[in-house]
Structure 1
């Protein structure tokens, strides 16, 4: 009997359950979805971005929303991986390599959505050939590329350190640089929006810390979902106390993020302020479903994270999913809402392609003007996420991401 107990507790016993036919089927399905998305993107290239529902008044849509969302997922995963090592704290049971790999996958997808949104891949070359280094857009492209390279170097350094070929001092230095870059990439992404004075909902100094706090929420939630699923599948061993610590940390990040949101809403919505239209649009207007899903979902997630009786693995996964959905809703209402209430009246030309119903006159044309993605946009987004799933599963199968004794 003691031999059976030792076998059940050995690191190799649960690992044998992972993989096999189920993993191969997952890889094949993800590859098919990615190829289908690629075909839809080719269709978009052939017909142009007019096939989407983006127009002059809503020049950014689902693609840039996903870009913001995935940068947050990526930065959050790398931050919770690098912070313990950077400050010499106790980690979370060897999840570092898995967290960094999920971060790399999310970063690749974020860059993919930028390419898709440009309309043609050759415009990526034009972005560098005719770049304006005074533009926050260019800052973000540079920082995002640097961030991806640093994430790969950080994963490589972690693997080499486990093999005894990279010192702890060097690994700690890399983790500090990666941590700074992770915070910077989200701050620069926020400045793309926050520095645009023509959009009421975006022009706030609070946007950068708000983006970082959101990244910590969804990044931590994503890592929790992944590691609980991998532990369930037998890929890795992880003490329950580590999941409890991450769940409590997720709850704290959610409260901080809601606090920032509340501060911003109070500032713009205070009687006599200029942002009462924003409050109306979010709470009872066309973006109200996104607003209330975020607020209620994040509140429920925080309750699960802080109440011990509710902190079961199943409910922690549910809470993590609610937190991720809540942050996506925040990204959606931020991007779409920013186009609805301009600071400058009639800032762009009015044509039949800029309004929902141009035959109804000026008032009817702009009434209820809210962007909603086309089916083509949804298909391309699904294909990009198929690519991300393919990268994640292939990495779990072929890369040495399982925790070893030194990684704890």
Structure 2
């Protein structure tokens, strides 16, 4: 109850801040002609990145016939759905005139990467929702069979969602086939969603974004932060829902190996992303990289690199580090470092355009979010956590029927 109250408080403050933005315009933010994206788009990229965990845990491991991941699939899909919902919301928040959002559908041009982003995000959301819903159907039947032990409103919800499920051989066959099709479909869509997002940056002629590496760079970072988020959720649900029997140390061991691999991969792309322009040292790239390595953004940059990648690798590369508590700490590091990394992808580049700032006010040379921006950003993060909390309270966080089936096969 305390946790939900805290999240609701953040959401209400964020809603009030957004009301101020709606009534007074984007002037309440510290964004301007140069930094026109700021913390909102940083949050958008962060949410999109985390959402890719659904395809990693549910689709890739399921298609690879990896059975140990079964208890983690619903956690991954809940995170994916909540993240992609708030990625969409934060884009609307970033619009100065959200009442004109419908123009995107009436007059959208397929030549624009923004239109591709809308299409692929919408597609990914519906596939993730179906991947969450289909495996839930057998569990709803189990919950309806025990309706005496639950509130009436929950029973009504379960009835609406799953009353048609009888568990016949034909239904199971159709459901399994549908899940496999969705798993195959979501992998290219998952790659597209972050590739298209990266193109929004790479097709904009700015130092720091003028890169052909951005697609792979974004995808590798997305898989890392998604895996880190699952590790954090595993620990929290395991501890507070007493799921030690289902989310075991073996799961942390295997997820630890995945996180190490993904962190090394993302570190490689980071070296590739910064080493090549640093070697060339074109003037505008020089200014941008100097700001990151030793200038205004250096503390955040080295924090993101050390805490988001290097320290988790140092912890998880050892067997003792792949125990639940060290894994939880490493997961927190990955997620926090990833958020700051997205902020650094957006802000320093916008402050260093190819054409120098002439006759611009002094405040245009710096950017720090206003309290309204912080409140809305934190409110969106709290909203995503609130959705995850709601799912965990209402539905089984561990797939019941799938786990029983896997145990029977193992026996």
TM-score by length of 2: 0.85
Say whether 1:288 aligns with 2:294: no
> What is the correspondence of 1:70-85 to structure 2 with a 5 Å cutoff?
70-85=47-62
Per-residue deviation, residues 91-132 of structure 1 (Å, max 9, x unmatched):
424110111011111111111110110123312212222212
Q: Counterpart in 2 of 1:339? A: 350
Could you say if the C-alpha distance between residues 115 and 271 of structure 1 is closer, same or farther in structure 2, counting changes exceeding 3 Å? Answer: closer
- Please provide the CA RMSD for this pair: 1.9
Q: Counterpart in 2 of 1:66? A: 43
Per-residue deviation, residues 65-103 of structure 1 (Å, max 9, x unmatched):
000011001113432222111233334241101110111
Rounded to whole Å, the distance in 1 between the matches of 2:242 and 2:32 is 46
Say which SS state the counterpart of residue 402 (structure 2) adopts.
helix
> What is the correspondence of 1:176-215 to structure 2 with a 5 Å cutoff?
176-197=184-205, 199-215=206-222
Q: Counterpart in 2 of 1:379? A: 375
More moved, 282-291 vs 69-78: 69-78
Q: Counterpart in 1 of 2:160? A: none
Could you say if the C-alpha distance between residues 174 and 235 of structure 1 is closer, same or farther in structure 2, counting changes exceeding 3 Å? Answer: farther
Say whether 1:86 aligns with 2:63: yes
Could you say if the C-alpha distance between residues 77 and 222 of structure 1 is closer, same or farther in structure 2, counting changes exceeding 3 Å? Answer: farther
Q: 1:247 aligns with which of 256, 263, 273?
A: 256
Say whether 1:306 aligns with 2:317: yes
Structure 2 gaps of 5+ residues are 142-166, 407-411
How far apart are 1:207 and its partner, in Å? 0.5
Whether the aligned pair in 1 keeps the contact of 2:25 and 2:96 (CA below 8 Å) is yes
More moved, 29-38 vs 377-386: 29-38
Whether the aligned pair in 1 keeps the contact of 2:59 and 2:187 (CA below 8 Å) is yes
Whether the aligned pair in 2 keeps the contact of 1:37 and 1:384 (CA below 8 Å) is yes
Q: Counterpart in 2 of 1:35? A: 12
Q: 1:115 aligns with which of 81, 92, 95?
A: 92
Say whether 1:128 aligns with 2:137: no
Q: Counterpart in 1 of 2:241? A: 234
Structure 1 gaps of 5+ residues are 1-23, 358-365
Q: 2:286 aligns with which of 261, 265, 276?
A: 276
Whether the aligned pair in 2 keeps the contact of 1:154 and 1:178 (CA below 8 Å) is no
Q: Counterpart in 1 of 2:387? A: 391
Say which SS state the counterpart of residue 254 (structure 1) adopts.
helix
More moved, 210-219 vs 397-406: 397-406
Say whether 1:44 aligns with 2:21: yes
How far apart are 1:228 and its partner, in Å? 1.1
> What is the correspondence of 1:94-105 to structure 2 with a 5 Å cutoff?
94-105=71-82
Per-residue deviation, residues 332-389 of structure 1 (Å, max 9, x unmatched):
111012212222345xxx67xx5325xxxxxxxx7xx231101111111122222222
How far apart are 1:158 and its partner, in Å? 1.9
Whether the aligned pair in 1 keeps the contact of 2:34 and 2:350 (CA below 8 Å) is yes
Q: Counterpart in 2 of 1:170? A: 178
Whether the aligned pair in 2 keeps the contact of 1:77 and 1:223 (CA below 8 Å) is no
Q: Number of paired residues?
A: 369
Say whether 1:330 aligns with 2:336: no
Q: Counterpart in 1 of 2:362? A: 356
Say which SS state the counterpart of residue 210 (structure 2) adopts.
coil
Whether the aligned pair in 2 keeps the contact of 1:68 and 1:331 (CA below 8 Å) is yes
Whether the aligned pair in 2 keeps the contact of 1:201 and 1:341 (CA below 8 Å) is no
Q: Counterpart in 2 of 1:19? A: none
Q: Which is richer in helix?
A: 2
Rounded to whole Å, the distance in 2 between the matches of 1:109 and 1:100 is 14
Say which SS state the counterpart of residue 334 (structure 1) adopts.
helix
How far apart are 1:29 and its partner, in Å? 3.3
Say whether 1:222 aligns with 2:218: no
Rounded to whole Å, the distance in 2 between the matches of 1:270 and 1:379 is 40
Whether the aligned pair in 1 keeps the contact of 2:110 and 2:116 (CA below 8 Å) is yes
